[in-house]
Amino acid sequence: MHTVVVGTSGVTASDVLAVARGGARIELSAEAVAALAAAREIVDALAAKPDPVYGVSTGFGALATRHISQELRAQLQRNIVRSHAAGMGPRVEREVVRALMFLRLKTVCSGHTGVRPEVAQTMADVLNAGITPVVHEYGSLGCSGDLAPLSHCALTLMGEGEAEGPDGSVRPAGELLAEHGIQPVELREKEGLALLNGTDGMLGMLVMALADLDALYKSADITAALSMEALLGTDKVLAPELHAIRPHPGQGASAANMLAVLKGSGLTGHHQDDAPRVQDAYSVRCAPQVAGAGRDTLAYARLVAERELASAVDNPVVLPDGRVESNGNFHGAPVAYVLDFLAIAAADLGSIAERRTDRLLDKNRSHGLPPFLADDAGVDSGLMIAQYTQAALVSEMKRLAVPASADSIPSSAMQEDHVSMGWSAARKLRTAVDNLTRIIAVELYAATRGIELREGLTPAPASQAVIEAVRAAGVQGPGPDRFLAPDLAAADAFVRAGHLVAAAETVTGPLQ
């Protein structure tokens, strides 16, 4: 099994994906263990002094003015975890919880939190055992960290609350720890606070969304090319010299992908109307510009994610010179913004894909295709309602594009008076990514049917490879009306599993 070694300098996106989705094992580097021990010595020294230090010998948030005596400090750390584990709503996905815990472990191992090495090792042991704390949908405002979600994870480390075992059953966390020989942690000064004060949930969801959207943007380039073929559009607008004079990197990459898919097509450029077209509609002609802008947004979001993956997010932090200083690095604004940016870009990509689908189905704009791509229009409705479903998905995508980060609800008696809502931005982006996959699947279904209805014209070799692969996957071609939902589900699964990109790349080679 793949092993990820966590050191003091952060982790990579591929590390997060390996742990969250691939079940990779985790080891702590010797460097990380040494840094943990050194930082803990500083915290222990401060805890022994009479001077109040936030998070070590004081209360939290608006209660930070109270000095806590030594005999109550262990109780203080237990209490913050128990009281902050206040999530509600449905459980979030296993991969999200694993990313959440792994990224908190990343910051703990930086040596800036003051957590003991044995606590960090317990975090790794829980993940390696396949134990997943029960974390709920609601409870994070994206400031002072993803507080409630991380608190539910910390509760599991204490042997309290509920968790999911490797077999998928939800049971008391203490039982699961005992079965795997894991001793619950007894939290000491600052440790409870350090386990729940970070942007780890929103960052984990950002990393996974970036991976999913990278594949979806390639998929969208392919379906846009297939629609161009089915509509007998011209690929001249994809010429590299046209995109070189507006040198946005994403635009150039999308145009190059479409051109690679269309190489050798016998459909592009055939204008069979009585009134030949001078230009294709925007949804066809401007596909690289729209998808390219989204690709460039992905690139910026990836840069933010890389910076955050290299960060140590906690409050207060232990500095190498021995100071323990309060700070505002837990604020989720940098991550929240890009999560919202991605939802906007995804909504626009879904919207332009739906417009191409609608054009394929309209006999007045499809340049010779039958109404709704039906076998016997009037008797058959064809893909009429498939487009309704796609339109409903696009409508929801537009609602999901409303930024969460523009909102703020003050909390903690106005001590935390401006929050990021980054967790909420991440949750709605996950829904948007799911919906975008379905939207692209519907365009794939319509475009492949449209190409097959162009009798006497030969599609590009890459297009033919896609058609053959999608038919082999159980997505049926043209014919009389049938129960449509299974076809759409099969198309969705085909796109979601990466088979669309893989099929095209058997001819084109790796797409950008």
**Catalytic (active-site) positions:** 54
Q: Residue 217: which of 128, 346, 113 has the closest Cα?
A: 346
**How far are the Cα atoms of 96, 183, 231, 335, 399 from residue 423, in angstroms, in the given order?**
11, 31, 41, 9, 17
- Tell me the three-class secondary structure of 236-299, residue by residue: HHHCHHHHHCCCCHHHHHHHHHHHHHHCCCCCCCCCCCCCCCCCCCHHHHCHHHHHHHHHHHHH
Q: Residue 140: which of 335, 402, 316, 343 has the closest Cα?
A: 335
Q: What helix, strand, coil percent values describe the chain, rounded to 5?
A: 55, 5, 35
How many residues are recorded in the chain? 512
As a whole number of angstroms, the distance between CA 373 and CA 370 comes to 5
Residue 417: strand, helix, or coil: coil
Cα 306 to its chain centre, rounded Å, is: 14
Q: How do 3-6 and 25-28 pair as beta strands?
A: parallel
Instruction: Specify the residue for token string 């910051």.
Output: 107
DSSP at 362: -
As a whole number of angstroms, the distance between CA 220 and CA 443 comes to 9
As a whole number of angstroms, the distance between CA 72 and CA 88 comes to 29
Q: Which residue type sits at 217?
A: Y
As a whole number of angstroms, the distance between CA 115 and CA 193 comes to 10
As a whole number of angstroms, the distance between CA 171 and CA 132 comes to 10
Instruction: Specify the residue for token string 């919906």.
Output: 435
Q: Residue 48: which of 27, 26, 70, 24 has the closest Cα?
A: 70
Q: Count other C-beta atoms under 10 Å from residue 391's C-beta.
A: 18
172 bridge partner residues: 162
User: Where would I find the beta strands (DSSP E) of 65-178?
Assistant: 88-91, 132-133, 136-138, 162-164, 170-172
- Determine phi and psi for 440, rounding to 5 degrees: -65, -35
